[in-house]
């Protein structure tokens, strides 16, 4: 079987377009971060914040937010959560299916540093979206209640 350069180039471009996001956050904790003020990367595949809540409360909030966006927890440890949004049939066939990775780290004064990374699949353009910004915003909202 013989592939032309244009065929290989088109396939490579499809791979780049289809797989968006990341499984680990590029955002890091700094003591100067303001509590309950999210940091958001371009495209909302990556977000972070220092939440005014201890580690246990922050984890409970994260789990509630994941449930609210129709995500199923696949793996949970004391300091991380990996989840996948349920797939939906609708305007976009195959919408849903995004993978969401949340990490938690206790910081000073009873606060918790949280990162949220969203990874879309091979068909990322077909109804999938980045959820990281929406998740951190909702976490701040729930922590304030």
Q: Is the pLDDT of residue 53 over 70?
A: yes
- Token pair belonging to 104: 């938690």
Pick the closest to residue 54 from 103, 115, 106 (CA basis): 106
**Which pLDDT score, from 0 to 100, does residue 102 have?**
98
What's the confidence (pLDDT) of residue 16?
40
At 126 the pLDDT is 60
Span 95-103, average pLDDT: 89
Inter-residue long-range contacts of 24-31, CB under 8 Å, 24+ positions, other chains counted: 24/101, 24/115, 24/117, 25/101, 25/103, 25/115, 25/116, 25/117, 27/115, 29/105, 29/107, 29/113, 31/108
* Assigned fold of 20-143: TATA-Binding Protein (3.30.310)
pTM, entire model: 0.80
């Amino acid at each position: 079987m013989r592939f032309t350069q244009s065929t290989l180039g088109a396939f490579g471009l499809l791979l780049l377009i289809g797989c968006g996001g990341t499984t680990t956050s590029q955002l890091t904790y700094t003591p100067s971060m303001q509590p309950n003020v999210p940091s958001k990367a371009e495209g909302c595949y990556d977000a972070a914040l220092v939440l005014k809540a201890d580690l246990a409360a922050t984890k409970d909030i994260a789990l509630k937010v994941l449930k609210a966006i129709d995500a199923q927890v696949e793996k949970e440890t004391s300091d991380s959560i990996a989840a996948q949004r349920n797939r939906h049939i609708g305007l976009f066939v195959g919408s849903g299916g995004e993978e969401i990775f949340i990490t938690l780290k206790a910081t000073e004064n009873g606060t918790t540093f949280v990162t949220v990374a969203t990874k879309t699949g091979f068909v990322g353009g077909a109804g999938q979206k980045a959820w990281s910004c929406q998740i951190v915003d909702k976490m701040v909202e729930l922590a304030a209640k």
